[in-house]
Structure 1
């Protein structure tokens, strides 16, 4: 393989103002099916391999193949090894290390997905880093151009967010510009691309793709977040532990995220149990995208609770003080003109200065003129509903959907992790989605690098 480590300024495409779309021969333009896979996370995506406690052991690829997986998603943070100024040269020693790992993966008869992973510069300062991003892809694509199209795919950028969340058109243009350079050397390579907001299912409608038959669309799934990320030290505030997951317990409905503060919420078979741990604590539900103002919000609680119920849009809020009666439905209406016709958050806030006894929200719905939308679901149904939404988008747009990440952090109990993992995997497969679990041997890992053995409950959940 010829290695291209640097570019001159004349090699770069026009900046993000360019509107040309890549076109390619369709003689071999059936997207690659990756099947079942595992992410080799916290290895090459660290600032330096080993910084996060793991280095790639090339013997692991054979273990992955023996366990029944079809591919490896290889997160690579090229940006930590790329010059900040033109010609944006990628470090040759790092490229050689990647080559060793790529060869080991393919020698183990696994398919491979190569991406650009963590790079805060790209998400926080895209205007200053557009040419650098394009230059990285020109080098990566040139370098790996001879790898077989039926074994290796590229993924443009892991979880675009930050500034891209504010301007989806900017990310859509980056997709076009990076594809332009990739298609010059890899006209028929399968390329994976995901939407903004960390590849959220609910952001798929913001994704506008160019005419290219060899694109696959990826989403990531970590809901309910308070279960999958309980105890994770990088979340602030750190989510409380002890959250158990069962498919038949109450859960926040698909399209909504639990961002409660100083409140412990637990799904039960009777509803969503909430405990305010201090005065003015609250349950906060955030919609993935703005929602129309309802005629009313309807709820039923199993005990008497003093609540301040609010609809919130940006910095604007409308609120009502209510006291529930045990077991009786309560309908709350709002003077919502100040919100401008839409909202994206709901607060159920403790309206006293004291900690409260746990109570159960048995039902919670938005009431519209023609429908009632429940904000609660069962945990299993919420997963299926969320992934089905992605599948419908894929059918409507003629794109295969790839579930590139899902996983539950090690602070959750193992039985719950296995149940949740099996439910997500089964839902994805029922919708004909290829998938890759996050991840192999770190905090979410299915493999213990100390004992060199699989964590059998998680492996069974993924390879039943």
Structure 2
């Protein structure tokens, strides 16, 4: 019998991303190498699901049939085995396929060829394994191009695996705004639609070393307006939209503030309305605030976003386990208590 995607979504429950590991060009290059112990820690920490970002494109041939390196595939087998042995659901995706975002047409066949192999390798796995075709479509992979590629990729997967639940992301870097342009093939019923949430970006990504000058201002607190003014970095204030954002952040009341809780409520209402209209279950596949933010703000923001998702029966996966956004401290070997409680402590924030 075909799985009910709404039940499959419910089973995802409380999730966490195993970030900065297998989506690096080489595992460990970004500071995280997955350990067997992590899966037990995550399960005992109250989580139901692990999302595993994977850069398959660094481990597949560039010529047909685009063979995936066996040693790398076996490493993914091990990750799935470890998760499932702990009773965790597993979501595997294609992450950071940068060449596809730059040149979609040139990489279409390779992308589909990679999924042909993934589908064939895991077709007999329990349905607690989910496939997410692509993380955060963007760049030259426009929404139209993504809808076309998605349809072709789903058709390829379904030639091999007809029962696996698929998790479909939006264009526009996976954001809520991408929902309105997303087109999942009408005949594809066994699918969950995912979105990511990092708003306000100037708060959640403040001080991110990989970001541009717009995120160079630290000391941004949540919610706004702040108790005292934050002086934007010189390079940031030269960007018009950033300058306007800080003006509103400092001056507007909480209900209108770009870093206010009401903005989160409005965003999640839009997502829930889209899901109802399109009769599709949702999954909040990523959300988190970078460690350059003060912990009190991180806890408030994380708890509020988690709560708003749960109010709308949207399961979620926090970004991420144990790196720059991490809820777990690998050096000390314990959870960051307040942040962990904000996720799984059962505390509900009232509006």
The reply to whether TM is greater than 0.5 is: yes
For residue 206 of structure 1, what is the aligned residue in structure 2? Answer: 181
**Could you say if the C-alpha distance between residues 414 and 440 of structure 1 is closer, same or farther in structure 2, counting changes exceeding 3 Å?**
same
For residue 105 of structure 2, what is the aligned residue in structure 1? Answer: 127
CA distance in 2, matches of 1:110, 1:45: 20
For residue 63 of structure 1, what is the aligned residue in structure 2? Answer: 41
Q: Deviations over 1:191-227 (max 9, x none)?
A: 0111111111012111011021111111000111111
Question: How many angstroms does 1:376 deviate by?
Answer: 3.4
CA RMSD of aligned residues (A): 2.5
CA distance in 2, matches of 1:99, 1:60: 16
For residue 143 of structure 1, what is the aligned residue in structure 2? Answer: 121
Matched, 1:108 2:82: no
CA distance in 2, matches of 1:414, 1:280: 23
Question: How many angstroms does 1:377 deviate by?
Answer: 5.4
Q: Deviations over 1:152-179 (max 9, x none)?
A: 1100100000002xx3111001110110
Matched, 1:421 2:302: yes
For residue 243 of structure 1, what is the aligned residue in structure 2? Answer: 220
Matched, 1:29 2:3: yes
Asked whether the equivalents of residues 116 and 157 of structure 2 are also in contact (C-alpha less than 8 Å), the reply is: yes
Asked whether the equivalents of residues 284 and 347 of structure 1 are also in contact (C-alpha less than 8 Å), the reply is: yes
Equivalent pairs counted in the alignment come to 339
For residue 59 of structure 2, what is the aligned residue in structure 1? Answer: 81
> Which structure has more strand as a fraction of its residues?
1
For residue 330 of structure 1, what is the aligned residue in structure 2? Answer: none
CA distance in 2, matches of 1:119, 1:280: 29
Asked whether the equivalents of residues 282 and 348 of structure 1 are also in contact (C-alpha less than 8 Å), the reply is: no
For residue 293 of structure 1, what is the aligned residue in structure 2? Answer: none
Quick one: which of 234, 248, 263 aligns to 2:210?
Answer: 234
| Correspondence list, 1:208-357, <5 A | 208-211=183-186, 212-237=188-213, 238-246=215-223, 249-250=224-225, 267-268=226-227, 281=237, 284-285=240-241
For residue 136 of structure 2, what is the aligned residue in structure 1? Answer: 159
Asked whether the equivalents of residues 75 and 115 of structure 1 are also in contact (C-alpha less than 8 Å), the reply is: yes
> Which structure has more helix as a fraction of its residues?
2
For residue 408 of structure 1, what is the aligned residue in structure 2? Answer: 289
Q: Deviations over 1:295-352 (max 9, x none)?
A: xxxxxxxxxxxxxxxxxxxxxxxxxxxxxxxxxxxxxxxxxxxxxxxxxxx95999xx
Quick one: which of 373, 384, 389 aligns to 2:265?
Answer: 384
Question: How many angstroms does 1:85 deviate by?
Answer: 1.2
| Correspondence list, 1:9-24, <5 A | none
CA distance in 2, matches of 1:205, 1:109: 35
Asked whether the equivalents of residues 169 and 194 of structure 2 are also in contact (C-alpha less than 8 Å), the reply is: yes
Asked whether the equivalents of residues 227 and 244 of structure 1 are also in contact (C-alpha less than 8 Å), the reply is: yes
**Could you say if the C-alpha distance between residues 275 and 90 of structure 1 is closer, same or farther in structure 2, counting changes exceeding 3 Å?**
same
Asked whether the equivalents of residues 256 and 263 of structure 2 are also in contact (C-alpha less than 8 Å), the reply is: no
Q: Deviations over 1:69-105 (max 9, x none)?
A: 1100011110000111111110001001111111010
Q: Secondary structure at the match of 1:441?
A: coil
CA distance in 1, matches of 2:210, 2:239: 21
Instruction: Flag structure 2 segments of 5+ consecutive residues without an equivalent.
Output: 346-351
Q: Secondary structure at the match of 1:59?
A: helix
Q: Which has the larger radius of gyration?
A: 1
Asked whether the equivalents of residues 404 and 437 of structure 1 are also in contact (C-alpha less than 8 Å), the reply is: yes
CA distance in 2, matches of 1:407, 1:359: 20
Runs of 4+, deviation exceeding 6 Å: 276-280
CA distance in 2, matches of 1:359, 1:419: 17
**Could you say if the C-alpha distance between residues 280 and 188 of structure 1 is closer, same or farther in structure 2, counting changes exceeding 3 Å?**
closer
CA distance in 2, matches of 1:385, 1:359: 17
CA distance in 2, matches of 1:231, 1:433: 29
Asked whether the equivalents of residues 230 and 412 of structure 1 are also in contact (C-alpha less than 8 Å), the reply is: yes
CA distance in 2, matches of 1:207, 1:241: 34
**Could you say if the C-alpha distance between residues 224 and 446 of structure 1 is closer, same or farther in structure 2, counting changes exceeding 3 Å?**
same
Asked whether the equivalents of residues 36 and 69 of structure 1 are also in contact (C-alpha less than 8 Å), the reply is: yes
